[in-house]
Chains A and B, each alone.
Chain A
Amino acid sequence: MFEVRNLSVSIEGVLKLNDINLKVKPGELHVIMGPNGSGKTTLAMSLMGHPRYKIVNGDIILNGENIKELPMYERTRKGLFMSFQHPVEIDSLRYLTFLLEVLKKNGKNPDIDWIKRVFEKMGLSEEFLNRNVNAGFSGGEKKRAELAQMLLLSPKYAILDEPDTGVDVDSMKFIAGAINEALSRGTGIVLITHYARILNEIGKGFYVHILAGGEIKAEGGPELAEKIEKQGFGE
């Protein structure tokens, strides 16, 4: 289980998240929705261990182990994954070179054919592997490549920061497909999103948590997401 207990986070001394609680079991989908500036990305970054985000209170428990003091790379190696809302463009590192190294460092077999198949599944031709990391990729291509990495790493838990923002209809299908596949493999997912749209493509039940002003204001099932879609985050 992946558990967030009473988590409070500050950036440069300003409190951004207050007393967040979340329990994710293998294969479960937890959707975090909330307006701009509600603390969604802060939550993702804090769970992953970005050094800029300071945990002032609470714990992050991954399968019984408190990981809140661990550096990012150790969290990843223990089976936590995050897809970035704005994946960085690294214009001097080939995607394939990058992936091979990442797989090696995470104890996976760096098999080029397998990488190609997963990329193809995400609608990304082999050519993307020869390009530099995210360099010149469209918004949708970047997000699809992020989720291809999730499929390759097959993490225990994945935090997906707005994988559906700024993508076209085709990309949306690939992204939803990757989420469904990961869930069916038993990956527990925390999906951060603005829109309920992507949830129509998810083949199973899920939990919804509404984040606003750095706090979880409401929790429920798919019906809550529908309500948000119709009425917005009004109250």
Chain B
Amino acid sequence: MESIARKLGEMRGEPDWLIELRVEAEKHLKSAPFPAEIRPLELATYDPLGKGDVELPEIKSLDDIPENIRNMLIKMGVPEYEWQKVLGLIQVDTSSQVTSFKEYFEKQGVVVLSLLDAVKKFDWLRDYAFKLMPYKTNKFAAYHTAYWNGGIFMWIKKGANIAYPLHTYFLITEGALAQADHALIIADEGAHATFIEGCTAPPLVRFSAHIGATEVYVKKGAKVKGVVLQNWPEYVNTRPYTNVQVEEDGEIEVAVAILGTGKSAGRYEEVHLKGKGAKATIHSISFVKNNEYLDDVIKIYLEAENTYGLIQTKGVIRDEGTSNSYTHIESGKNACHSKGHIECSGILLNSGAKHTTYPGVKSISPSSELTHEAYVGRISEESLTYLMARGLSEEDALALLVKGYIEPVTRHIPFEYLKEINRIAELVAKGGF
């Protein structure tokens, strides 16, 4: 049988090493296991060479926006100038605005390319691309490696300090529209940068399954901040995978806001602190409503001395939503004097909602200190009464309590998104979303 993976790689004109990697992954696909924490997905139904299995109307201008989507964008308060981006109307790769952005970034030491162009241009990327997510890991990794079909490469060169956030979603559409998009980010020694991935409004996508992956290399002394915004339309199943490797004195700070899980979402994020003094902090909020389903897996591995990891997750669950939060910090034998802390919680807004937390710490280094706390609760009647006695209606009181609850996470998210996120929090609290 002809290899679809080979065909895909050849069609795209990829280097041999990458095509061979695709083929190996494809061979492994059938026997690879699904990851333990994440809900399986029937992958055989998708055609990796197709244009998607979701029927969408042709949208050529803002006038073609379906009524329900228009209403939602208005309800969320998404500014109209962002609508085009949401609907994929801007061919951003070629637009002059983005070209000038890219030139501007290039001067500051940032290389932004589609991953395909990047692997053709830089042969050394064979030591980086797909190395942090071996296809043998699980079925999603195998599928992704075999059939990835778009993505972005960002390289922050040594010592570059980028004051403006880099929007991965905005800079290259190929990745956003692909079924299995791959982002490869390298922050070289001493580089500083902030990345923003996704947006607060649901993108219109033509595949009902998305198996994306992100690899991030944080080199010695580099500092990377990532903001991930996800709001998938209700017909989509997503299984995004992220793996970060941090070297000596490097730092990664991630703020994740899952605003809509789609039909089901299985997020897997893993950080390896490989060098002395490396740090990772991950803050996450998720809203799970209607019949949505979320498996959220976050793991930090402390692998060198004086490393530090923090995971803070907050879930707001309503209707028949189901959320499972798996958090794990592990210190290895070299992780002397390392510290890790997990704080995960969820609040349920009604009796049909479900939230389960599985916090775990594991240490084989006697001098490291790992702690965790977890709770699942409801909004207390007494708090609601108190706020109502201060002039807030029950709905407003609930919305304020939800807003307050997520504030420790939202303070890590850039201001320009906060308004929409708080609006979504309010809509979730009031049940109008």
Which residues of A are in contact with B by a Cβ distance under 8 Å? 48, 50, 71-73, 76-77, 82, 84, 87-88, 90, 92-94, 97-98, 101-102, 105-106, 132, 149, 153
Contacts and interface: CB of A to CB of B under 8 A. Distances in A.
Interface residues of B, number: 21
21 contacts: A48-B389, A73-B388, A73-B391, A73-B392, A76-B389, A77-B391, A82-B389, A88-B380, A90-B401, A93-B400, A93-B404, A93-B407, A94-B404, A94-B407, A97-B403, A97-B407, A102-B387, A102-B391, A105-B390, A106-B390, A132-B404
A93 B394 CA distance: 16
A20 B43 CA distance: 72
Nearest to A107: B391
A102 B387 CA distance: 8
Contacts of A71: 388, 393
Contact of A92 (B387, B388, B397, B405): B405
A97 B404 contact: yes
Instruction: List 8 A-B pairs, minimum CB-CB distance, nearest first.
Output: A93-B404, A76-B391, A92-B405, A72-B388, A106-B391, A88-B386, A102-B390, A105-B391
Contacts of A101: 392, 396, 400
B383 interface: yes
B382 interface: yes
Given A90-B401, A105-B390, A106-B390, 5 more contacts: A73-B397, A88-B383, A92-B405, A93-B400, A102-B391
A153 B396 CA distance: 18
Nearest to B401: A93
Nearest to B399: A101
B390 A149 contact: yes
B389 A84 contact: yes
Contacts of B137: none
Interface in B362-409: 380, 382-383, 385-394, 396-397, 400-401, 403-405, 407
B380 A92 contact: no
B396 A93 contact: no
Nearest to A99: B390
Most chain A CB neighbours (cut-off 10 Å) among B380, B382, B386, B401 = B386
A101 B397 CA distance: 10
A105 B396 CA distance: 9
Interface of B: 380, 382-383, 385-394, 396-397, 400-401, 403-405, 407
A149 B389 CA distance: 12
Nearest to A108: B391
Contacts, number: 70
A92 to B, nearest CB: 4
B389 A92 contact: no
Contacts of B389: 48, 50, 72-73, 76, 82, 84
B386 A73 contact: no
A149 to B, nearest CB: 7
A84 B386 contact: yes
Most chain B CB neighbours (cut-off 10 Å) among A50, A72, A92 = A92
A91 B172 CA distance: 42
A87 B386 CA distance: 8
A153 B391 CA distance: 10
A47 B61 CA distance: 57
Contacts of A102: 387, 390-392
Contacts of A76: 389-391
Contacts of A73: 388-394, 396-397
Contacts of B388: 71-73
B382 to A, nearest CB: 5
Most chain A CB neighbours (cut-off 10 Å) among B382, B389, B400, B401 = B389
Contacts of B397: 73
A208 B115 CA distance: 80
Given A73-B393, A101-B400, A50 B405 contact: no
Nearest to A90: B383
Contacts of A94: 404, 407
Contacts of B382: 88
Contacts of B383: 88, 90, 93
B404 A98 contact: yes
A235 B403 CA distance: 51
Contacts of A50: 385, 389
Most chain A CB neighbours (cut-off 10 Å) among B391, B396, B404 = B391
Nearest to B400: A101
Nearest to B390: A102
A224 B391 CA distance: 35
B386 A92 contact: no
A234 B405 CA distance: 49
Contacts of B392: 73, 101-102, 105
B406 to A, nearest CB: 9
Contacts of A48: 389
Contacts of A105: 390-392, 396
Contact of B401 (A72, A82, A84, A92): A92
B407 to A, nearest CB: 6
A84 to B, nearest CB: 7
Contacts of A97: 400, 403-404, 407
Contacts of A82: 389
A190 to B, nearest CB: 15
Nearest to B314: A92
A124 B392 CA distance: 24
